[in-house]
């Protein structure tokens, strides 16, 4: 019996990472943050003097870094050339450069191959989150979800995260999100886009717990439609329990 494959896409700050991790943990699935992989390769470029806006130089170096992703949803990891990169990939510099680097076709083909290999090897199934998972990376996923939220809600969530660390005001955060989404949606190679067969969930007025509950239900339905072989009895029971807790 094969494992359930879940693709979760959407713009920045819609809750992809938080939702995907919680759903994967509740249901005994692996978890892959593909944005972390694009951030990791961007960090390598910046650390090795490759200008992020020089597409030819980025393409020439795209095969060099060794990117390693750990897929335990309780403790996901990302390493570059054997070094933990989980801190530096979240820097302002990487965030500002990641859309340029991830638009380069040689970068995308390399990272896409890596993502497909990780999904194929996930023993009990996997939740993969990003921008092009449902459209390009895993077009045959058992369930595709596209998360959305208003720019105001996304900026407010991000500003809450940044408080005390990085004094960016709400409107600057909102503008930065919109700019990154425009770059990610406007690139030629596998842009940020809802797959035709994805379920769209607008999270603007939902709590994270409500979004998780909704996605857990969709995954259970997809697993059942597939023949019930993907979410084991124990994991399904844990998911039911979690859904029960959330709805209280």
Ligand X SMILES: Nc1ncnc2c1ncn2[C@@H]1O[C@H](COP(=O)(O)OP(=O)(O)OP(=O)(O)O)[C@@H](O)[C@H]1O
Ligand Y SMILES: Nc1ccn([C@H]2C[C@H](O)[C@@H](COP(=O)(O)O)O2)c(=O)n1
Using CB under 6 A, list all residues that contact ligand Y. 12, 34-35, 38-39, 98-99, 102, 130-133, 180, 184
Q: Give whichever of 94 and 236 is closer to ligand X, judged by the CB atom.
A: 94
Tallying the residues shown for the chain, one arrives at 248
- Is residue 111 within 8 A of residue 38, CB to CB? The reply is yes
Q: Give whichever of 88 and 130 is closer to ligand Y, judged by the CB atom.
A: 130
Out of ligand X, ligand Y, none, what residue 125 binds, judged by CB under 5 to 8 A for its kind, is: none
Closest distance to ligand Y from the beta carbon of 69 (Å): 12
**Nearest alpha-carbon partner for 60 in 123, 11, 93, 104:** 104
**Nearest alpha-carbon partner for 71 in 167, 151, 6, 136:** 6
The Cα 168–Cα 112 span in angstroms is 32
Which residues define the annotated binding site?
Answer: 10-18
Closest distance to ligand X from the beta carbon of 15 (Å): 3
Among residues 161, 197, 200, 237, the one that binds ligand X under rule CB under 6 A: 161
Out of ligand Y, ligand X, none, what residue 132 binds, judged by CB under 5 to 8 A for its kind, is: ligand Y
Residue number of the CB closest to ligand X reads: 15
- Is residue 23 within 8 A of residue 221, CB to CB? The reply is no
- Is residue 141 within 8 A of residue 132, CB to CB? The reply is no
Q: Give whichever of 47 and 148 is closer to ligand X, judged by the CB atom.
A: 148
Closest distance to ligand Y from the beta carbon of 94 (Å): 9
Taking residue 188's Cβ as centre, other Cβ atoms within 10 Å add up to 7
**If you ran DSSP here, which 8-state letter would residue 231 be given?**
S
Taking residue 223's Cβ as centre, other Cβ atoms within 10 Å add up to 25
Q: Give whichever of 26 and 107 is closer to ligand Y, judged by the CB atom.
A: 107
Among residues 108, 144, 157, 242, the one that binds ligand X under rule CB under 6 A: 157
State whether residue 44 is helix, strand or coil.
helix
Among residues 6, 13, 118, 174, the one that binds ligand X under rule CB under 6 A: 13
By CB under 6 A, the residues from 20 to 79 that bind ligand X are 35
In the numeric block, the tokens 């076709």 are attached to: 105
134 binds ligand X (CB under 6 A): no
């Amino acid at each position: 019996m094969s494992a359930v494959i879940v693709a979760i896409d959407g713009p920045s700050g819609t809750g992809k990472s938080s939702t995907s991790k919680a759903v994967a943990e509740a249901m005994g699935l692996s978890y892959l943050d593909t944005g972390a992989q694009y951030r990791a390769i961007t960090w390598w470029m910046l650390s090795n003097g490759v200008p992020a806006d020089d597409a030819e130089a980025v393409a020439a170096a795209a095969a060099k870094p060794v990117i390693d992703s750990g897929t335990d949803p309780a403790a996901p990891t990302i390493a570059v050339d054997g070094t933990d990169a989980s801190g530096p990939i979240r820097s302002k510099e990487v965030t500002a450069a990641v859309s340029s680097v991830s638009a380069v076709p040689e970068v995308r083909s390399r990272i896409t191959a890596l993502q497909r290999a990780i999904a194929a090897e996930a023993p009990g199934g996997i939740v993969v989150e990003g921008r092009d998972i449902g459209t390009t990376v895993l077009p045959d996923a058992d369930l595709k979800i596209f998360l959305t939220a208003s720019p105001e809600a996304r900026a407010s969530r991000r500003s809450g995260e940044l408080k005390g660390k990085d004094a960016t005001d709400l409107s600057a955060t909102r503008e930065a999100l919109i700019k990154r989404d425009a770059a990610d949606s406007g690139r030629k190679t596998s842009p940020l886009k809802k797959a035709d067969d994805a379920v769209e969930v607008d999270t603007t007025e939902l709590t994270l717990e409500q979004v998780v509950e909704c996605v857990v239900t969709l995954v259970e339905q997809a697993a059942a439609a597939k023949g019930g072989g993907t979410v084991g009895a124990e994991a399904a029971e844990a998911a039911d329990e979690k859904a029960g807790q959330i709805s209280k």
